[in-house]
């Protein structure tokens, strides 16, 4: 995926100085502009420096557009360092910046055949003559610009923000399929060839195997591996990474033939010795285009490299010139993006995991399979009824589905491939961790391990207490907690505060430095305040919202602990169910022991004064939401605030990066888009629940 970081922005703000401010700027507008600047900078950094974007290009553009509009209306809001004033993210410090003479643009997307036809209808109105197309595979790598002068490769640059990229000449020079000298006697004076650098699948698997052996980080997918390999400071590392390249576009051209069409351009490029993809086809009309897209979809797994769609381009260069560009992309090309991917693999087993509340969740152990851009080995099966409904049985060949970054899902068995006499899976009678019976109550879909002493529940309760939504103790994840529970250092969350460097250092796999860091983050967590402590305790029905309400109203843990059900019910935002649950929690002696440990350790058990900034646990950190349609219990603003207060983001358009689409009354086209992309859809009730509890265990 690429991004045009200057799109529209620079033109729109370039002459701001000459415009008068159209009135005083209210605080809210100024704050929104500041927030947008900050958010855009953050996304720029993730995109350019970390190779780890969390929003789609379209979402980025929507944010940038909003800031441009605000600044255009109120020029006094423009700051020298605003993302609108500088093309995208700062070029990385490691590589020299390269200014692209012709900007490197992105492509508009189509997700269905209808959208491709609609594109054809749009562009056909712009030119009098019939349009001939060229279809190409959409390679899932990263765009690169190669500059040849008098036939020699003199510079290679990444796209960067489309205007300025990174000079990666030394690294690109190690890619064997990229010629260092163009073929033929009459080389053009200057020629910029653009195309995609990618990592073939076998090279990707081999790289990850080596990374694994060396206990280095594995790459999530070939695209990341290719990007990471090009960003090496040491070109010898790039040289060891088997990258490949296909050209598909020209930038600067001085000398050489006058080209009239894309296919002429491609064959000339090929004559010069550059690799051109062999699946590229000339397509006479839009029906043939659709056939081509479908054929690419069928062939995608046999190519030896990842593709995520097909690119359709107008062949005739004169027609292209007539069609022109929108702010972010040419009108004469479109990317048809493949629907969520499905693969088959063996279901090796069904296991049950135990959560902090004792909930027993079945999950599929799959023969690892590369699907939707990453390797999937586990997938939740939710509960007994889901397993029964899908009728998946250990030993089955099953269909696994995943769209982009969405949670992988087992769709169902391939019955034709079911081995004979395969037995139905039955829910285990006993907890895999402690052996006590698993209980499913009348009217409920979940099983529970009801043994409060269950070691796995202990682990999960402590992990939850230390987790991001609660006390946020960095470095205390599941693996560590399990190690400490096994070593007898932790029995409950209160014990976290008795961990010292001296007690930790003797443990295996724990260096002194890590122990010191861990103890420091434990110490730092003491000041999180009452609301987060209440969330961390994992009281049933008490999510961030109820915890906040209790903390605000009662001010200190002592008052929450000793409040009667009536007093609790009187708190705004706390109903009888929550009140009962809180009272029941504090009546359990074992729970009070935990509280004593917290008190003793000096954990802050008070709430910040009224009027201080709201302090809702960031249960939605890293999640992106799109809202469509009207909600009953919340206004649009209220819903956005609630998401943002919990660390989530709200964006205006659905992409495969969207975590959830919240659907109210009379939803718009975003619903259909979410369905096409396989983005999880939430109704109002599920959304309110999510605000309360955070995403379910196992959500991406
Ligand atoms: S043409 C102005 N052709 O997809 C159009 N792009 O989503 C320039 N890509 O930035 C791009 N395969 O990194 C083109 N056959 C192909 C492509 C292709 C992959 C990438 C490229 C581009 C991105 C847009």
Selection from 167, 175, 176, 177 nearest residue 147 by Cα: 167
Give, for 258, the enclosing helix (H) or strand (E). none
CA-to-CA dists, residue 383 to 387, 440, 669, angstroms? 7, 10, 32
CATH of residue 70: 1.10.287.610
pLDDT of residue 51: 57
CATH of residue 420: 2.40.50.140
Residues 605-618, mean pLDDT to the nearest whole number? 66
Rounded to whole angstroms, the Cα distance separating 40 from 86 reads: 12
Residues 360-364, mean pLDDT to the nearest whole number? 95
Q: Using one digit for the tens of pLDDT, what is the confidence trace for 268-284?
A: 999 999 999 999 999 99
| Residue 394: exposure state from Cβ atoms within 10 A (0-12, 13-18, ≥19) | middle
CATH of residue 688: 3.40.50.10190
Q: By alpha-carbon position, which residue is closest to atom 12 of ligand 1? A: 138
CA-to-CA dists, residue 608 to 286, 551, 596, angstroms? 63, 8, 21
| Distance in Å, CA 98 to ligand 1 centroid | 19
Rounded to whole angstroms, the Cα distance separating 463 from 481 reads: 7
pLDDT of residue 44: 73
Note down the domain range covering 630: 624-693
Task: Find the DSSP H helices in 308-360.
Answer: 317-323
Residues 665-681, mean pLDDT to the nearest whole number? 83
335 lines ligand 1 (CB under 6 A): yes
248 lines ligand 1 (CB under 6 A): yes
Which residues neighbour 6 within 8 Å (Cβ) at sequence distance 6 or greater? Answer: 87, 88, 103, 161, 162, 163
Strand-pair category, 359-371 with 341-354: antiparallel
The answer on pLDDT for 93 being more than 60 is: no
Q: Using one digit for the tens of pLDDT, what is the confidence trace for 485-501?
A: 999 999 999 999 999 99
Pocket test for ligand 1, best of 57, 105, 107, 312 (most atoms within 8 A of CB): 107
Q: Is residue 8, in this structure, part of any structural domain at all?
A: no
pLDDT of residue 75: 78
Residues 510-514, mean pLDDT to the nearest whole number? 89
CA-to-CA dists, residue 192 to 189, 468, 538, 561, 582, angstroms? 10, 47, 59, 71, 68
Angle between helices 636-645 and 684-693 (to 10 degrees): 30
Residue 46's pLDDT band (cuts 50, 70, 90): low
Instruction: Say which range, 50-54, 84-88, 175-179, 333-337, has the weakest mean pLDDT.
Output: 84-88
Cβ atoms within 10 A of the Cβ of 444, count?
Answer: 10
Q: Is residue 613, in this structure, part of any structural domain at all?
A: no
Pocket test for ligand 1, best of 53, 100, 111, 138 (most atoms within 8 A of CB): 138
- Whether the CA torsion 440, 444, 450, 455 is positive or negative: it is positive
Instruction: Say which range, 141-145, 517-521, 696-700, has the weakest mean pLDDT.
Output: 696-700
Which residues neighbour 300 within 8 Å (Cβ) at sequence distance 6 or greater? Answer: 306, 307, 338
Residue 15's pLDDT band (cuts 50, 70, 90): very low
Whether 523 and 543 map to the same domain: the answer is yes
Pocket test for ligand 1, best of 161, 311, 323, 328 (most atoms within 8 A of CB): 311
Q: What is the DSSP string of 438-501?
A: EEE-TT-S-EEE--TT-HHHHHHHHHHHHSTTTT--TT--HHHHHHHHHTTS-SSGGGGGG--H
Q: Is residue 6, in this structure, part of any structural domain at all?
A: no
Whether 180 and 237 map to the same domain: the answer is yes
CA-to-CA dists, residue 561 to 182, 207, 568, 585, 596, angstroms? 78, 55, 10, 9, 11
Whether 111 and 225 map to the same domain: the answer is yes
pLDDT of residue 615: 60
DSSP 521: H
Higher pLDDT, 240 or 43: 240
Whether 40 and 148 map to the same domain: the answer is no
Angle between helices 576-587 and 589-601 (to 10 degrees): 80
275 lines ligand 1 (CB under 6 A): no
| Distance in Å, CA 326 to ligand 1 centroid | 16
User: 3-class SS at 120?
Assistant: helix
CATH of residue 113: 3.30.470.30
Q: Using one digit for the tens of pLDDT, what is the confidence trace for 136-158?
A: 999 999 999 999 999 999 999 99
Residues 113-136, mean pLDDT to the nearest whole number? 97
Selection from 168, 303, 140, 160 nearest residue 224 by Cα: 140
Q: Using one digit for the tens of pLDDT, what is the confidence trace for 549-585?
A: 899 899 999 999 999 999 999 998 888 999 999 999 9
311 lines ligand 1 (CB under 6 A): yes
Rounded to whole angstroms, the Cα distance separating 570 from 693 reads: 22
Residues 467-479, mean pLDDT to the nearest whole number? 91
Domains identified in the chain, total number:
5
249 lines ligand 1 (CB under 6 A): yes
Residue 699's pLDDT band (cuts 50, 70, 90): low
Q: Using one digit for the tens of pLDDT, what is the confidence trace for 57-84?
A: 667 777 888 888 888 788 788 776 777 7
107 lines ligand 1 (CB under 6 A): yes
| Distance in Å, CA 391 to ligand 1 centroid | 42
* Bridge partners for 352 per DSSP: 362
Selection from 476, 481, 480 nearest residue 458 by Cα: 481
Residue 3's pLDDT band (cuts 50, 70, 90): very low
Whether 577 and 652 map to the same domain: the answer is no
pLDDT of residue 403: 62
pLDDT of residue 447: 96
| Distance in Å, CA 65 to ligand 1 centroid | 23
Question: Is-contact 116 110, C-beta < 8 A?
Answer: yes
pLDDT of residue 569: 94
Pocket test for ligand 1, best of 51, 88, 196 (most atoms within 8 A of CB): 196
Question: Is-contact 30 95, C-beta < 8 A?
Answer: no
| Distance in Å, CA 45 to ligand 1 centroid | 22
Rounded to whole angstroms, the Cα distance separating 153 from 182 reads: 8
Residues 225-245, mean pLDDT to the nearest whole number? 90
337, 365, 386 - which closes a domain: 337
pLDDT of residue 231: 87
Q: Is residue 610, in this structure, part of any structural domain at all?
A: no
Question: Is-contact 642 691, C-beta < 8 A?
Answer: yes
Rounded to whole angstroms, the Cα distance separating 696 from 466 reads: 17
Residues 627-645, mean pLDDT to the nearest whole number? 82
pLDDT of residue 631: 83
384 lines ligand 1 (CB under 6 A): no
Q: Which atom of ligand 1 approaches the CA of 280 most closely? A: 15
Rounded to whole angstroms, the Cα distance separating 591 from 105 reads: 59
138 lines ligand 1 (CB under 6 A): yes
Three-point CA angle 303, 308, 313, nearest 5°? 95
The answer on pLDDT for 327 being more than 80 is: no
Residue 18's pLDDT band (cuts 50, 70, 90): very low
| Distance in Å, CA 106 to ligand 1 centroid | 7
Q: Is residue 680, in this structure, part of any structural domain at all?
A: yes
What's the chain's average pLDDT? 87
pLDDT of residue 516: 95
Instruction: Say which range, 212-216, 422-426, 608-612, has the weakest mean pLDDT.
Output: 608-612
Give me the active site residues, please.
138
424, 448, 472 - which closes a domain: 448
pLDDT of residue 466: 96
Selection from 104, 1, 99 nearest residue 59 by Cα: 1
* Bridge partners for 153 per DSSP: 148
User: 3-class SS at 657?
Assistant: coil
Instruction: Say which range, 37-51, 104-118, 369-383, 481-495, has the weakest mean pLDDT.
Output: 37-51
The answer on pLDDT for 210 being more than 60 is: yes
Share of the chain above pLDDT 70, in %: 90
DSSP 3: -
**Do you know the residue count of the chain?**
700
Q: Which atom of ligand 1 approaches the CA of 138 most closely? A: 12
Question: Is-contact 120 284, C-beta < 8 A?
Answer: no
The answer on pLDDT for 250 being more than 70 is: yes
Rounded to whole angstroms, the Cα distance separating 143 from 159 reads: 6
Residues 520-537, mean pLDDT to the nearest whole number? 95
Whether 272 and 290 map to the same domain: the answer is yes
Task: Find the DSSP H helices in 505-575.
Answer: 512-524, 530-536, 544-554, 557-562, 565-569
Q: Using one digit for the tens of pLDDT, what is the confidence trace for 290-308?
A: 999 999 999 998 899 999 9
Q: How far is CA 692 from the centre of its chain?
A: 22
Strand-pair category, 244-254 with 152-158: unpaired
pLDDT of residue 83: 76
Whether 440 and 564 map to the same domain: the answer is no
Task: Find the DSSP H helices in 27-85.
Answer: 27-44, 57-73
Phi-psi region of 344 (alpha: psi -120 to 50; beta: other; left: phi over 0): beta
Residues 309-338, mean pLDDT to the nearest whole number? 93
CA-to-CA dists, residue 460 to 474, 479, 491, 590, 603, angstroms? 16, 11, 11, 16, 21
The answer on pLDDT for 177 being more than 80 is: yes
Q: Give rounded-to-5 percent helix, strand, coil for the chain.
A: 40, 20, 40
pLDDT of residue 5: 38
| Distance in Å, CA 199 to ligand 1 centroid | 16
pLDDT of residue 4: 37
pLDDT of residue 179: 94
Q: Which atom of ligand 1 approaches the CA of 277 most closely? A: 15
Rounded to whole angstroms, the Cα distance separating 501 from 507 reads: 10
Q: Which atom of ligand 1 approaches the CA of 143 most closely? A: 13
Q: Is residue 699, in this structure, part of any structural domain at all?
A: no
Whether 273 and 373 map to the same domain: the answer is no
Higher pLDDT, 629 or 437: 437
Rounded to whole angstroms, the Cα distance separating 88 from 160 reads: 8
pLDDT of residue 13: 28
The end-to-end CA distance of the chain, in Å, is 20
The answer on pLDDT for 16 being more than 60 is: no
Rounded to whole angstroms, the Cα distance separating 370 from 218 reads: 14
| Distance in Å, CA 439 to ligand 1 centroid | 54
Whether 107 and 194 map to the same domain: the answer is yes
Whether 109 and 167 map to the same domain: the answer is yes
Q: Is residue 609, in this structure, part of any structural domain at all?
A: no
Instruction: Say which range, 4-8, 92-96, 492-496, 506-510, has the weakest mean pLDDT.
Output: 4-8
Residues 417-444, mean pLDDT to the nearest whole number? 95
Q: Is residue 615, in this structure, part of any structural domain at all?
A: no
The answer on pLDDT for 89 being more than 60 is: no
Whether 59 and 196 map to the same domain: the answer is no
Question: Is-contact 100 163, C-beta < 8 A?
Answer: yes
Backbone dihedral angles phi then psi of residue 551, each to the nearest 5 degrees: -65, -45
Selection from 120, 535, 50 nearest residue 313 by Cα: 120
105 lines ligand 1 (CB under 6 A): yes
Task: Find the DSSP H helices in 134-184.
Answer: 169-172
Q: Which atom of ligand 1 approaches the CA of 159 most closely? A: 10
Half-sphere exposure of 278 (CA within 13 A, CB side): 4
Whether 206 and 297 map to the same domain: the answer is yes
85, 115, 147 - which closes a domain: 85
Q: By alpha-carbon position, which residue is closest to atom 2 of ligand 1? A: 105
Residues 595-602, mean pLDDT to the nearest whole number? 97
Q: How far is CA 649 from the centre of its chain?
A: 12
């Amino acid at each position: 995926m690429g991004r045009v970081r200057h799109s529209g922005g620079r033109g729109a703000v370039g002459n701001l100085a000459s415009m008068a401010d159209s009135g005083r700027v209210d605080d809210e507008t100024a704050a929104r502009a500041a927030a947008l600047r900050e958010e855009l900078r953050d996304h720029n950094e993730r995109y350019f420096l970390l190779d780890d974007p969390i929003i789609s290009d379209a979402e980025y553009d929507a944010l940038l557009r909003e800031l441009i509009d605000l600044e255009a209306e109120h020029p006094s809001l423009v700051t020298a360092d605003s993302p609108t004033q500088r093309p995208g993210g700062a070029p990385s410090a490691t590589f020299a910046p390269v200014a692209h003479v012709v900007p490197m643009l992105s492509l508009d997307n189509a997700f269905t055949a209808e959208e491709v036809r609609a594109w054809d209808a749009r562009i056909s109105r712009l030119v009098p003559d019939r349009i001939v197309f060229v279809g190409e595979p959409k390679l899932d790598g990263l765009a690169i610009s190669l500059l040849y002068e008098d036939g020699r490769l003199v510079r290679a640059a990444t796209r960067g923000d489309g205007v300025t990229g990174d000079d990666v000449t030394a690294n690109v020079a190690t890619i064997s399929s990229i010629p260092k000298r163009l073929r033929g006697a009459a080389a053009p004076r200057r020629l910029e060839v653009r195309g995609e650098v990618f990592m073939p699948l076998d090279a990707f698997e081999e790289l990850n195997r080596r990374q694994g052996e060396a206990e280095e980080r594995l790459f999530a997918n070939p695209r990341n591996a290719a990007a990471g390999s090009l960003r090496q400071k040491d070109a010898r590392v790039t040289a060891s990474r088997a990258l490949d390249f296909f050209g598909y576009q020209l930038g600067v051209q001085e000398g050489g033939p006058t080209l009239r069409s894309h296919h002429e351009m491609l064959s000339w490029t090929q004559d010069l010795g550059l690799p051109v993809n062999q699946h590229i086809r000339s397509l006479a009309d839009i029906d043939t285009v659709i056939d081509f897209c479908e054929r690419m979809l069928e062939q995608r797994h046999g190519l030896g490299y990842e593709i995520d769609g097909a690119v359709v381009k107008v062949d005739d260069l004169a027609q292209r010139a007539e069609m022109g560009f929108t702010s972010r992309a040419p009108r004469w090309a479109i990317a048809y993006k493949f629907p969520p991917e499905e693969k088959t693999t063996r279901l090796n087993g069904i296991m049950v995991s135990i959560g902090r509340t004792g909930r027993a969740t079945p999950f599929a152990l799959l023969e690892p399979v590369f699907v939707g851009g990453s390797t999937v080995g586990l997938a939740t099966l939710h509960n007994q009824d889901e397993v029964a409904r899908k009728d998946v049985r250990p030993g089955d060949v099953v269909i696994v589905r995943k769209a982009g970054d969405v949670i992988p899902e087992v769709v169902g068995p391939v019955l034709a491939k079911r081995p004979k006499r395969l037995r139905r899976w039955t829910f285990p009678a006993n907890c895999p961790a402690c052996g006590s019976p698993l209980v499913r109550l009348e009217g409920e879909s979940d099983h529970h391990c009801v043994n409060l002493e269950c070691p796995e529940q202990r682990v999960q309760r402590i992990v939850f207490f230390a987790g991001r939504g609660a006390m946020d103790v960095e470095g205390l994840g599941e693996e560590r907690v399990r190690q400490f529970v096994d070593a007898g250092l932790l029995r409950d969350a209160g014990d976290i505060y008795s961990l010292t460097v001296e007690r930790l250092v003797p443990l295996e796999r724990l260096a002194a430095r890590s122990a010191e860091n861990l103890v420091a983050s434990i110490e730092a967590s003491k000041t999180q305040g009452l609301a987060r402590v209440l969330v961390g305790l994992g009281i049933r029905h008490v999510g961030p919202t109820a915890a906040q309400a209790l903390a605000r109203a009662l001010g200190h843990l002592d008052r929450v602990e000793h409040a009667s059900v009536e007093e609790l019910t009187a708190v705004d935002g706390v109903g009888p169910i929550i009140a009962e649950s809180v009272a029941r929690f504090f009546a359990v002696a074992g729970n009070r022991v935990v509280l004593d440990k917290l008190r003793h350790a000096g954990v802050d058990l008070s709430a910040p004064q009224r009027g201080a900034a709201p302090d809702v646990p960031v249960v939605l950190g890293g999640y992106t939401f799109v809202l469509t349609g009207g909600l009953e219990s919340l206004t649009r603003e209220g819903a956005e605030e609630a998401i943002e207060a919990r660390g989530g983001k709200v964006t205006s358009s659905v992409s495969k990066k969207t975590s959830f689409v919240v659907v109210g009354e009379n939803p718009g086209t975003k619903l259909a888009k979410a369905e096409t992309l396989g983005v999880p859809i939430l109704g109002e009730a599920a959304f309110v629940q999510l605000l309360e509890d955070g995403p379910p265990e196992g959500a991406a």
